Amino acid sequence: MRAPSPRLNPVNGQYLLSLILFIFIFSCLSANPTRAQTSYPERPIRLIVSFAAGGPTDIFARLVAVRLEKELGQPIVVENKPGGGSNIGSEFVARAKPDGYTLLLGTIANTTNMAIYKNLGYDTERDFVHITQIMSSPSILVVNNDIPVKNLAELIAYVQARPGKLSYASSGAGGLQHHAGELLKMRANLDMLHIPYKGAVPALTDVMGGNVAMGFKTASGVMPTILNGKVRAIAVAGRQRLVQLPDLPTMIESGMPDFEVDSWNGLFAPAGTPPQIIAKLANATIAILKSDEISEKFKTISAVPVGSTPEQFKQYVHEEVVKWGQVAKQAGVSIDQ
């Protein structure tokens, strides 16, 4: 007699079907990220700038974007999302999908804001992956031409002889220029009034006009004014002297150890962006920053290309957060949001 055909137990049948389905889904999930990362980018990338079009940050973003899209083979679309001291655009990117298609051109404001905004909607160290620092431009301490001083020692003595009578200008409360002025006050024991403006241009205009005695201004923005003799440069707040002003000493050379105030920017991605994508973005950006073309372009606007590794940039951002956090705390710089 012929043996009966084995019948599949319904329970075992369900288990087998579930196992096949699980294997299929797992293979799809594990394959897709790999494919996406190796073929990245497959569509245009958005580069968010947290400041208005036409400003220094926007100019750097577009200089880099044009060349980066040639390296990556996809358009880099620069989008301006200004407001909130750069916080609107920054928070937008922090909340974006971590797939490498929404990036932020972060700035020094992303570190100073950590200390001065009570209800910041993002954490610069926790909510971003730091890809590479793009550029650095030191600040320059300038005074009105009617102030009878030629160097830092003379300026300090002049201010100390007039406690509470002189003021310094900044581009806005809580910004880098404000922090730089407070750092000078603390380090030199000066009694000066802070006058905040709505932007770097009106602040510099009032220094030129004599309404304010002095201020720290980013080299990339103030250089033409200095070269035209409309303000007097006292010292550069960087590690090295500037090529455009070889006779201008640094703050460090002038007796202020470790006094550095750099305006900088760099590429950030949302936390959770795959390491392979970060590496590709970093390598491509570093490659263009090493080009003679970029070096010459940056030199014309008093900036230096950097091109750090993600690890180096992460460490630098951390140091900036700590440094300016201490200044803000000691000076009582705070903004209610």
pLDDT tens for 107-134 read 999 999 998 998 899 999 999 999 999 9
Quick one: 28 exposed, middle or buried, by C-beta within 10 A (0-12, 13-18, 19+)?
exposed
Give 34's pLDDT tier (boundaries 50, 70, 90).
Answer: very low
Residue 2, pLDDT above cutoff 90? no
Q: Which amino acid is at 228?
A: N
> What number does CATH give the domain 45-137+262-331?
3.40.190.150
Q: Which amino acid is at 334?
A: S
157-165: which pairs have CB atoms within 8 A and are 24 or more residues apart?
Answer: 159/188, 159/190, 159/191, 159/192, 159/213, 160/188, 160/189, 160/190, 160/191, 163/191, 164/191, 164/192, 164/193
Residue with more model confidence, 25 or 249: 249
Phi first, then psi: give them for residue 73, nearest 5 degrees: 80, 15
Give 31's pLDDT tier (boundaries 50, 70, 90).
Answer: very low
Residue with more model confidence, 124 or 300: 124
Q: Which amino acid is at 262?
A: D
Residue 151, pLDDT above cutoff 80? yes
Which residue carries 């301490």 as its tokens? 141
Helix (H) or strand (E) run with residue 182 in it: helix 176-188
Could you state, in order of their start, the residue ranges of all structural domains in the chain? 45-137+262-331, 139-237
Q: Where are the beta strands (DSSP E) in the chain?
A: 45-49, 76-80, 102-107, 128-143, 167-170, 193-196, 214-218, 232-237, 262-270, 304-305
Fold of 139-237: D-Maltodextrin-Binding Protein; domain 2 (3.40.190)
Give 54's pLDDT tier (boundaries 50, 70, 90).
Answer: confident
Q: Report angle CA 229, 263, 162 to the nearest 5 degrees.
A: 55
Residue 27, pLDDT above cutoff 70? no
Return d(Cα 128, Cα 260) in angstroms, integer. Answer: 25
Residue 47, pLDDT above cutoff 60? yes
Query: What share of the chain has pLDDT > 70, as a percent?
Result: 88
State both tokens at 254: 């002038």
